């Protein structure tokens, strides 16, 4: 039995780079697609929000002189490029899917509504929701919180390159220890960076738990669905 019936999977754009410094590593993409297909075959309803940091981030662009709003729009288009890549990889793996866009851009994808996403998932398709929230000054973490709440997901699975939430950044501090579970309040009190505050607060206020795990290890997504304690659960 799968632990969750409907999930919102957040994939960071940065992870899509794999060993590269920019863009999309097709091997990483194919590996993600295989992992997603694996849980799709178990009957889990899957909504996906994907980031764009491997291509463009508005805030970084603003630091280089780009207009912030245009930079954020470039970032949202970057998430769309990644979403199309993921859609293609899922189709190649034999996993039905559909792309829904936060900004109107048919024929690239249908304009997102909650009901289209739910209908697609109920028809056995993975719903890839691109373009973040459709508004500047937000991130795809916030986009994931919003979409996860809207589609009434049981949990947001945040696939990262770290295997959970630590007392400090484990890539910088070797003494950092990992939490099996942690409350939203403790995240604030300890000033831990699971997601940005807007995204975290949306999850807290709307009762959407977050499960942080390392998606870069093949088979891990299935382990999460099987209930193996490989990451960190953030809950109320
Ligand atoms: N973005 C935005 N609104 C949103 C989601 C994303 O403006 O609702 C822009 C923003 O510029 C952001 C970029 O898209 O930097 C890429 O998203 P993000 O940085 O969240 O990607 P990730 O870090 O997950 O790769």
pLDDT at 20: 92
Q: How far is the CA of 221 from the centre of ligand 1 (A)?
A: 23
Tell me how far the alpha carbon of residue 97 is from its chain's centroid: 16
- The torsion angles phi and psi of 77, rounded to 5 degrees, stand at -70, -35
Geometric angle at alpha carbon 8, from 153 and 112, rounded to 5°: 90
| pLDDT classification of 30: cutoffs 50, 70, 90 | very high
Give percent above pLDDT 90 in the chain: 96
pLDDT at 170: 87
Query: Which residue has a Cα nearest atom 14 of ligand 1?
Result: 75
Which tens digits make up the pLDDT trace of 171-228? 899 999 999 999 999 999 999 989 999 999 999 999 999 999 999 999 999 999 999 9
pLDDT at 41: 97
Residues 65-93, mean pLDDT to the nearest whole number: 98
pLDDT at 110: 98
pLDDT at position 13 over 80: yes
pLDDT at position 230 over 90: yes
Nearest to 88 by CA among 17, 140, 32, 139: 32
Residues 42-46, mean pLDDT to the nearest whole number: 98
Residues 130-138, mean pLDDT to the nearest whole number: 98
Q: Which residue would you say has higher pLDDT here, 117 or 161?
A: 117
| pLDDT classification of 2: cutoffs 50, 70, 90 | confident
Ligand 1 pocket mutation, candidates 9, 57, 136, 202, criterion most atoms within 8 A of CB: 57
Q: How far is the CA of 92 from the centre of ligand 1 (A)?
A: 26
Ligand 1 pocket mutation, candidates 10, 48, 52, criterion most atoms within 8 A of CB: 52
pLDDT at 33: 98
Nearest to 101 by CA among 169, 41, 49: 49
pLDDT at position 94 over 80: yes
Average pLDDT, the chain: 96
Ligand 1 pocket mutation, candidates 51, 71, 158, criterion most atoms within 8 A of CB: 51
pLDDT at position 158 over 80: yes
pLDDT at position 1 over 80: no
């Amino acid at each position: 039995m799968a632990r969750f019936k409907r999930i919102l999977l957040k994939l960071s754009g940065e992870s899509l780079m794999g060993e590269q410094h920019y863009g999309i590593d097709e091997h990483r993409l194919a590996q993600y697609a295989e992992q997603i297909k694996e849980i799709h075959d178990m009957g889990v309803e899957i909504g996906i929000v994907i980031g764009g940091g491997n291509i463009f981030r508005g805030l970084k662009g603003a630091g280089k002189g780009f207009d912030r709003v245009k930079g954020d729009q470039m970032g949202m288009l970057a998430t769309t490029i990644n979403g199309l890549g993921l859609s293609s990889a899922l189709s190649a793996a034999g996993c039905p899917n559909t792309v829904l866009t936060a900004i109107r851009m048919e024929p690239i994808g249908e304009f997102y509504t909650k009901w289209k996403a739910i209908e697609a998932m109920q028809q056995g398709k993975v719903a890839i929701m691109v373009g973040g929230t459709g508004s500047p000054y937000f991130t795809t973490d916030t986009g994931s919180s919003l979409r996860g709440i809207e589609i009434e997901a049981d949990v947001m699975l945040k696939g990262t390159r770290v295997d959970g939430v630590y007392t400090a950044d484990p890539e910088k501090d070797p003494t950092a220890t990992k939490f099996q579970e942690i409350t939203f309040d403790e995240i604030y009190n300890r000033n831990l960076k699971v997601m940005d505050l807007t995204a975290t607060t949306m999850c807290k206020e709307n009762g959407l738990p977050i499960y942080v795990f390392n998606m870069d290890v093949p088979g891990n997504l299935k382990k999460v669905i099987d209930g193996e304690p490989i990451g960190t659960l953030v809950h109320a």
